[in-house]
Structure 1
Amino acid sequence: MSQATVREITLKILVQVGEQGGFSHIILNQAVIKNDLKQNDKGLLTELVYGTLQHQYTLDFYLEPFITNKKLDRWVRWLLRMSVYQMEYLDRVPDHAVINEAVTISKRKGHKGISGFVNGVLRSMQRKGVPSLDNIDNQLEKLSIATSHPFWLVRMWSEQYGFDLTEEMCHSNIRHKNVSIRVNILKQSRETMQELLLEEGIETKQSNLSDQGLIVTKGNVIYSSYFPNHFSIQDETSMLVTEMMGLEETDTVLDSCSAPGGKTTHIAEKMNDKGTIHAHDLHAKKIKLVSEKADELGLSSIQASALDARKLHETYDKETFDRILLDAPCSGLGVLRSKPDIKYNKHKSDLDGLAIVQQDLLQAVLPLMKQHGKIVYSTCTVNKQENEEQIKQLVNEEQVEVDPSFFEELPSVCKELIGISEYGIQIFPQDFDADGFFITRLQKKK
């Protein structure tokens, strides 16, 4: 059997993710390894997978007049989506080449009738052009299709944050985001790491959100000889979570939902690998990732084990910890640029269930905080129900408050953001071309 082409591999991934519920980033990485792809092919595969997923609703809108509600095999629909994505969004490959490749794939996977149908649809689209989004009157529906976000999500965001901010966020979510890294300062300074990466042809600039952060402006850090021991790949806004914990080297720290370990190891680095960090997660398989990451970075202050954060009171006495991080399970609506499949798999009802879990977790870790301790609560989502409303309910019902010094200690680039409220800071994806995050810090009422 001849080796599968990049577009055949792409199609297989799209069907797995779109129809079988697989995670795009995991399946993509597995495919790269399995097929031993060259660098250029890896780039094309990534572009085609994420681009097609990212624009799925828009592609369906473009296709609808040409398929006239015809019942299609799922793989055929994904093949058409992938082909239209290339024709409408990419300039490197001419339309005739895209169409020929699609016809070849459909011949291999189907029969002559399917290949003829695929050829007819794509050539008709090439000849007539795609329908205009301007014909959609409802502004929420138009934004939903133009940026490929579910209508319920666009409506929810518009109700919570207003249409203009929602529009900006939705368009931001279909653009490429920055790749950033966190330097392991126990091995290299940030400045030295910049110089070493530059020698490998990788250009970076310093982050304003973390004094360990670098934003990659040229090159691929995955292939650096210093990865993963001298730096971690981590989003800037994710780094800010640990930066806002106010850590001291002698602290006893709890990371209650720690997998896969990015923030846990950042805590250890900030504390110069001193003090004690108790890292837990519900599943042993996930906790293994935390331990492996700590070993890669040469960190010894992390004690990782599988425990349900809602039952930590069975293991620890009250007022055990100086600092607690609750990076809570959430809907992930802040990371849609890097995980576009999330937006198609989430429903409004899912958010209600998550909010209950988050409240249970907050209630569970509160008693474990020392009298003068601090709790940082964070999520990688943009949703008031999981963020501001959680904290509002907590401070109204419990003897805790948002730490006023939290706002004073925010980096200067955050202090004028529209997402600051009395309950914390909501960072939107467009703020730094990074992930959307909510962060706040709690203490016992004075």
Structure 2
Amino acid sequence: MNNSRALAVEVLLKVLRNKAYSNIEINNVLKGSDLSDADSRLMTNIVYGVLQHRYVLEYQIKPYIQDKKVEQWVMILLMTAVYQMQYLDKIPEHAIFNESVEIAKANGNKGVGNFVTAVLRNYQRHGFQELPKGNSTYALSLRHSTPQWLVDLLINQQGLNKAKSVLESINQASDISIRVNTNKISVDELMTKMNNQGFDMKKSPISSVGLTCPHGNLVNTQEFEEGLYTIQDESSMTVAPTLDLQPDDQVLDSCAAPGGKTTHIASYLENGSVMALDIHKPKTKLIQENSHRLGYEDIIKTKALDARKAKDAFEPQSFDKILVDAPCSGLGLIRRKPELRYFRKPEDLLDLQKIQLQILDSLTELVKVSGLIVFSTCTFDAEENEDVVIKFLQTHENFEVVPVKHEKGLDKNVHDGVLKLMPDDYFTDGFFVSAFRRKK
């Protein structure tokens, strides 16, 4: 199929019905289609746009469907049409109308086509309904298409002004960021090389090895193939420096796939090594592929293992440093994966906290005395971050928090020794990093 709008509906249905990840579904569809670059961009734009503005779009459509039972795919089709009419000013409305009605007829029948026509004509006639103003949870939730429980959490933990700043930032398009493999090329050299090819690369404000650019296909370049860089969010580049790595360190990366942080750790080592674990065997292959491309296959070993069982697989005090990049809600990623906000529930946060504590608990004997365990997540809620630090220290008196090391001026993001990045701070992923030293 080569219809970008129909494919957008197909992707959105998989995401919202099956809780699939938008980026994976988009890639799957693009692989199987013959879309032009322009149509690929349109399809991707519609998918992310509908996910980012879902509550607003439903609010616009609701008056024209009232209490009718509408199938999920029809509702998604209507949202894609209203999104294009409201947010994409270069597309003629007749094209949106005609294609949306054709998709409705192809997937349903003439009656569905007539229904879609009627709703879109009504929306065209009445225009965009103004959204509720003010700072009530309901108004903020609707305006920023974010569940009310998550708005409440942000306000309770960050205060109203910071919560609003986060909410205003999460529906803006992300930059792409890459980590330069400085063992093969310098940051300045790679930036010049990429900019000569038309990429608008800039240095990251929070990582000395990071570059960012607004858009472009960075996986299909010769430089990527040669292992001169890897795709990695700037926030996650703050983790490896925290480990205070020495050239001969033995390191355990306990939840490693797809290997971005693993290969970053390896870049600091000479005679040392990294043991990279992942619970899923196929994902260890991803780590191996990344380490081979970047030139670290001699430093990185992999093992398919649940990190909670690591204490049975390795001798006590086997490692100088251990990274626990723990399973988490991923709420810090909602600019890149906007669907996550609709999938998570408040109780998930405490369920994940239990798993995080189990992993930390299983690794305490494996780190040497005076060694470090670094705990990180790609989320911003206290339940999965600060509360985990407090609970871990309460039950492990032989560990202490050591202030997180960082390369760039992130002092304002370090409180009580832990680093917390909110999505609006540097326009990166929300992230948390803490470090524990084994005292005895």
TM-score by length of 2: 0.96
Report if the CA contact (8 A) 1:95-1:126 is conserved.
Answer: no
Match of 1:58 among 56, 59, 64: 56
Q: Please name the residue that 1:173 is paired with.
A: 170
CA–CA distance in 2 between the matches of 1:382 and 1:441? 17
**Aligned pairs, how many?**
437
CA deviation vs aligned residue, 1:311-365 (integer Å, no higher than 9, x gap): 1111212221111100000000000011111111111111111010001111111
How far the C-alpha of 1:271 sits from its partner, in A, is 2.0
CA deviation vs aligned residue, 1:116-168 (integer Å, no higher than 9, x gap): 1111111111111122212x666111111111111111112211111221111
CA deviation vs aligned residue, 1:28-50 (integer Å, no higher than 9, x gap): 10111110322212211111111
Aligned amino acid, residue 434 of structure 2: T
Report if the CA contact (8 A) 1:319-1:371 is conserved.
Answer: yes
CA–CA distance in 2 between the matches of 1:342 and 1:250? 39
Q: Please name the residue that 1:413 is paired with.
A: 409
CA deviation vs aligned residue, 1:30-83 (integer Å, no higher than 9, x gap): 111110322212211111111111111111111111111211111110000111
Match of 1:332 among 330, 333, 337: 330
How far the C-alpha of 1:412 sits from its partner, in A, is 4.2
Aligned amino acid, residue 354 of structure 2: I
Report if the CA contact (8 A) 2:402-2:417 is conserved.
Answer: no
How far the C-alpha of 1:209 sits from its partner, in A, is 2.2
Q: Please name the residue that 1:158 is paired with.
A: 155
Aligned amino acid, residue 425 of structure 1: L
Q: Please name the residue that 1:145 is paired with.
A: 142
Report if the CA contact (8 A) 2:174-2:214 is conserved.
Answer: no
Q: What stretches of structure 2 of length at least 5 have no aligned partner?
A: none
Q: Please name the residue that 2:401 is paired with.
A: 402
DSSP-derived class of the 2:383 partner: coil
CA–CA distance in 2 between the matches of 1:82 and 1:285? 35
Q: Please name the residue that 2:218 is paired with.
A: 221
CA–CA distance in 1 between the matches of 2:18 and 2:364? 39
Superposed CA RMSD: 1.6
- Kindly indicate whether residue 204 of structure 2 is the aligned counterpart of residue 210 of structure 1: no
CA–CA distance in 2 between the matches of 1:309 and 1:357? 10
CA–CA distance in 2 between the matches of 1:174 and 1:218? 16
Alignment of 1:120-269 (within 5 A): 120-134=118-132, 139-217=136-214, 219-228=216-225, 229-269=227-267
CA deviation vs aligned residue, 1:147-190 (integer Å, no higher than 9, x gap): 11111111122111112211111121111112110111222111
DSSP-derived class of the 1:215 partner: strand
CA–CA distance in 2 between the matches of 1:248 and 1:161? 36
Aligned amino acid, residue 63 of structure 1: I
DSSP-derived class of the 2:47 partner: helix
Report if the CA contact (8 A) 2:2-2:35 is conserved.
Answer: no
How far the C-alpha of 1:104 sits from its partner, in A, is 1.6
Aligned amino acid, residue 410 of structure 2: C
Aligned amino acid, residue 79 of structure 2: R
Match of 2:421 among 424, 427, 435: 427
% of aligned pairs identical?
38
DSSP-derived class of the 2:248 partner: coil
CA–CA distance in 2 between the matches of 1:70 and 1:266? 53
CA–CA distance in 2 between the matches of 1:266 and 1:7? 39
Report if the CA contact (8 A) 2:326-2:376 is conserved.
Answer: yes
CA–CA distance in 2 between the matches of 1:375 and 1:138? 41
Match of 2:278 among 281, 285, 295: 281
Alignment of 1:49-128 (within 5 A): 49-128=47-126
Q: Please name the residue that 1:317 is paired with.
A: 315
DSSP-derived class of the 2:185 partner: coil
Report if the CA contact (8 A) 1:202-1:221 is conserved.
Answer: no
Q: Please name the residue that 2:384 is paired with.
A: 386
How far the C-alpha of 1:421 sits from its partner, in A, is 2.1
Q: Tell which deviates more after alignment, 255-264 or 190-199.
A: 190-199
DSSP-derived class of the 2:163 partner: helix
Aligned amino acid, residue 430 of structure 1: D
Q: Please name the residue that 1:441 is paired with.
A: 435
TM-score by length of 1: 0.94
